[in-house]
Structure 1
Amino acid sequence: MAEKIPGSATPGFDFNKATIVSLLYIGGFVVGVTGLIGFILALVWKDEVAGTWEESHLQFHIMTFLIGLLVGIIGSILSFILIGIPILIALAVWILVRSVLALLKAQKHEPIADPKTWLF
């Protein structure tokens, strides 16, 4: 498949690797295991996309999963004293926003500016 010029638009929905992982993360809100599948695919595909715009996306998704896992564990433990519930809700929103923003950039074939950021 030919490398697309960043920022150029093509009609239709492009199922590139970054898009697939984003969709799996978003699907994790309905079918929980798809987030884990997305993380595994991001790890497997990371070396395959080295040097392309997708490399930053997969790094971004790996960071999203690892930070989400850490905060999810902390939020789950703290849910026994009720403060964990708002933390888990905020975590869900954070993951959803990061995944949607990454999906939009993946459709434009634009790299993530700072894939190691904790924000967006």
Structure 2
Amino acid sequence: MNESPDNRNVIEPNQKPDITLPIVVYALFLAGVVSGGLTAVIGVVIAYVYRGQGPDWYDEHYRYQIRTFWLSLLYFAVSGILTLVMIGFMTWLLAVVWLVIRCVKGIKRLQEQRAPDNVESWLI
């Protein structure tokens, strides 16, 4: 790896980027379901710190992860409010399924070294 003038690591054109860190972020998001979101917060911090340091398809994963975090926060907050009228448990389950599907799709696309589909989507 070469050091660029602004001291960030730059990936050479013929070198494959290490996909371990984005996979760890996806795993932290999934673990957030059982940790009450604590690991997801750690994951989104990692995504914010490391975005912009690789090829376009690689950086799109960090963008996708950041967007997934904020949307999941919204969906889980709405589910928490809806528990007052007894449908929040169902919407919470839907939010968990949505999160799992987005993370699995992201990991699959990452392993193919391609950008995730539908980065801007509120759905899957």
TM-based fold match above 0.5: yes
CA RMSD, 1 decimal? 2.0
**Structure 2 length-normalised TM:** 0.78
Distance 1:24 1:15 in 2: 15
Question: Any conservation in 2 of the 1:59–1:116 contact (CA below 8 Å)?
Answer: no
Q: Which residue matches 2:16?
A: 4
* Structure 1, gaps ≥5 residues long: 6-13
Q: Which residue matches 2:99?
A: 95
Residue 81 (1) aligns with residue 81 (2): no
Q: Report 1:27-66 matches (<5 A).
A: 27-32=31-36, 33-49=38-54, 51-66=55-70
Of all paired residues, the percent bearing the same amino acid is 28
Stretch moving more, 78-87 or 16-25: 16-25
* Structure 2, gaps ≥5 residues long: 2-13
Q: Which has the higher contact order (CA 8 A, sep 6+)?
A: 1
Equivalences, count: 111
Deviations, residues 7-61 of structure 1 (Å, cap 9, x unaligned): xxxxxxx643321211111222343421111111111111323x43211111111
Distance 1:28 1:106 in 2: 20
